[in-house]
Amino acid sequence: MRTSLRLVPVAAAGWGAAALCIVLPQISALVAGLAALAVLTGCVLLARAGQRMRRGALVAVLAATVAGGAAGAVATAAPAREAVAAWDVAGGRALRAAVTVSGKVVPTASGGARADAVLRELRAGERAIATGAPVRLLFDEPPDLELGSAAAIEGTAFHADAGDRAVLVFRVTRVVAASDPSGVLGVAAWLRARMLAGIEGMPQPAAGLIPGLAVGDTGAVTGELDAAMKDASLTHLTAVSGANCAIVVAAGFWAASLIGLGRGMRVATGAVLLAGFVLLVTPEPSVVRAAVMAGTAMLALLLGRPGAGIGVLCLSVALLTVFDPWLALEVGFALSVAATAALLTLARPLARGMARWMPGPLALAIAVPLSAQLVCGPIIVLIAPQLSTYGVVANLLAAPAAAPATVIGVLACLAAPSPPVQTVLLWLAWVPAAWIAGTATVTAELPAARLPWWEGGAGVLALTLTGAVTAVAIAVRARGRARRPVLLARGAVGVLAGCVLGAVVLGTVAAPATVAGRWQIAACDVGQGDAVVLRSGGRTMLVDTGPEPEPLAGCLRRLGVDRIDVLVLTHFDLDHVGGVSAVEGRVDLVVHGPVPPGEERLLARLGGAARQVHAGASGTLGDEPWRVLWPAAREETPGNDASVVVEIGGRGLPRTLLLGDLGADAQRRLLATGALAPPYEVVKLAHHGSADQEPRLYREVAASVALVTVGAGNDYGHPRAEALAMLGRAAIARTDLQGMVLIDRGDDGLTWWRERDDRPTGRRGRR
């Protein structure tokens, strides 16, 4: 183990240099030069050093080499990136581009899709540049594009955040032309397409899970199952993580051993299968990273040398940061490294510790997901400050089905040239997929499936200490002088278990006690989507349901809302209707705009009376009148510009205007109708704060408080600075910064409570 740890500084040097140069690209050439000088100096010292110092000098030379390689890679990419970054793309400027898709097309919560691409040419009017800079593409609807496809596109763009792999985020309004990928990528795309066609008609949600388990294609996974997989900490099974790659390698080792091949040939067989699997599921950066991590872990474990695995892991990290420095700032990369390190170092001691109380095989089965959760947890809370309560149990239950589902699913994908064989294999894969889907669904429906945790550095430190104490309590045998600290650690774990039980009660029975007692308007924190609750006279209106059911269910539970008297579905994009299953059977009246084909089933699921509305429709909520201002009767095309715009309040409830996802053109047409009756006290900023707004509308509305319902770190750059500037002197309440926001009219005017005290500078609110 001591020998393998010598490579830790090498991996750390590559990781650190890559991260530093990505954040500060202007110093990358300098860092590369200093590293080259260090390598030369180290080589001289290495030649003169004695045997004892030679090992340390060699490690130093390797570390400098890797750091210089990572910095050099950033410096080499800088000219192309800077050429694109210098373009003025503000204000919705029309752009044309030629791109090559470099990542799979992934559905987004809004019902659209995103994909990574390499920019080949960028045009604005007569100006054009040729470049190989990376960009991210956003689509309103999933396009028919595969990794390796070449496409000509039109749209608008904005600059990505510093440190992002992409230089521009391109909002595609039109795909002018596209060509299918060729060669191996074309064959792989055809195989995946035939697999998706093969699952049509099979029982859901398990059928949609098969391509995810086999080749990482989650496009057919239902929104409800996707949310359940997240709550159960099972998403690694469908994201082409190290788990999927490890299963393929293990299958190759097993098959090779059955026919009597030696250890070298077994390793070669696993490597060939892993390379083929990467090509099949798309060789994008995240997949390559997962494959390298899986190959590292499986090679070390299957060769019976987990200690040497740490050295191989460090070498893998070093090479990855040199060939793709932008991995250094990706959370997925950190999670892969952490999970692999946990498997190599922590799983075995935890299994030995638990084997004192239970059968050895069961202890090992528990130790694998537990070690990963203990090590990865502090990283995950940086993204979402919450814990999966039953994640270890769910992984333990799903583990026996993961390998058969993956292996049979891959075989079914490869069997596309023979439809009868593929059909048989798909049905065989459906059985373990159904078990996994059932495990996720049941786990997600348990009380307090996710528990809140502290945010930021405090949350990371607290969870790291908790994980360390838990590992000591389980793994260390209490003897002699070590008995007291081990007993203290076990006592701390007992206290932690009590806290978890208390949190379960707090998240269910006592949930309403976690928010302010008085409120009339609540903006739920449901991520990149809308869910606004209004109440008056014991009656409740919900405007949209967000992208997923669990965040909405949690918000309603905390608010003490059991039944919805009026549900307004402003339009049918996923970020506004994806959470409807949270209120199925609990709605009396559904108010909605134009219905896209096929969405009638969604309305039927809700169980309440459904009413399509146009401007002029009205009703009451308790003591408060509500009125529909848009869409006009002639606005029959479903979409953002046909969003239902509702005005409510004026008697006791603050006068509120909810604008859905209305764009600037529709906002101007709304103004032209004369239906607005300003001033309003509260306005919900349209379309999560996109730049597509009409400033005159917000000047006329003259609201005191603006609600911005938006997801933290979203791919769209929402809310845009120009949209926030249109709000003038209004106090801005943002769900991405402040979590749930509650508004109430008190004796001294409007007061608002926020879940997190992270208000924008210069804005005044009341907690």
pLDDT digit string (tens) for 256-286?
Answer: 878 887 777 777 787 788 888 888 887 777 7
pLDDT of residue 498: 45
Residue 651's CB: how many other CB atoms inside 10 A? 12
- Show Cβ contacts of residue 294 under 8 Å, excluding neighbours closer than 6 positions: 242, 243, 244, 245, 246, 249, 274, 340
Q: Which of 570, 578, 566 is nearest to 528 (CA)?
A: 578
pLDDT of residue 341: 82
Helix 51-85 with 8-23: angle, nearest 10 deg: 20
Q: Is 163 helix (H, G, I), strand (E, B) or coil?
A: coil
Q: Output the pTM of the full model.
A: 0.66
Q: Is the Cα torsion angle 101, 103, 107, 109 positive or negative in sign?
A: negative
How far apart (Å, rounded) are the C-alpha atoms in residues 596 and 573? 10
CB 475 within 8 A of CB 407: no
pLDDT of residue 412: 92
pLDDT of residue 482: 47
CB 552 within 8 A of CB 578: no
pLDDT of residue 289: 72
Q: Based on the number of CB atoms within 10 Å of its own CB, is 613 exposed (0-12), middle (13-18) or buried (19 or more)?
A: middle
CB 552 within 8 A of CB 524: yes
pLDDT tens digits, residue range 278-301?
Answer: 888 877 777 777 777 666 656 665
pLDDT of residue 241: 66
DSSP 8-state class, residue 430: H
Cα separations (Å) of 547 from 451, 524, 554, 565? 20, 12, 13, 21
Q: What is the largest CA-CA distance in the chain?
A: 89
pLDDT of residue 495: 47
Q: Based on the number of CB atoms within 10 Å of its own CB, is 200 exposed (0-12), middle (13-18) or buried (19 or more)?
A: exposed
Tell me whether strands 587-592 and 564-569 are parallel, antiparallel or unpaired: parallel
How far apart (Å, rounded) are the C-alpha atoms in residues 83 and 73? 17
pLDDT tens digits, residue range 79-131?
Answer: 888 888 888 776 667 888 899 988 888 777 556 788 889 998 888 877 888 88
Question: Helices (H), strands (E): how many in the chain?
Answer: 25, 24
Tokens matching residue 759:
């208000």
Q: Is the Cα torsion angle 348, 350, 351, 353 positive or negative in sign?
A: positive
How far apart (Å, rounded) are the C-alpha atoms in residues 308 and 299? 10
pLDDT average per 10 residues of sequence, the chain (767 residues) = 70 90 88 86 71 71 88 89 81 82 76 84 83 86 84 86 83 85 85 89 88 82 77 77 73 80 76 83 75 67 60 83 88 81 81 82 81 82 74 86 88 91 94 92 78 72 77 63 48 48 42 57 90 89 90 85 89 88 85 82 76 88 89 78 90 90 90 88 91 90 90 84 87 88 80 67 34
DSSP 8-state class, residue 282: -
DSSP 8-state class, residue 365: H
DSSP H stretches of helix in 346-479: 347-354, 360-383, 391-414, 419-445, 456-475
3-state secondary structure string, 552-596? HHHHHHHHCCCCEEEEEECCCCHHHHCCHHHHCCCEEEEEECCCC
Tokens matching residue 452:
């809140």
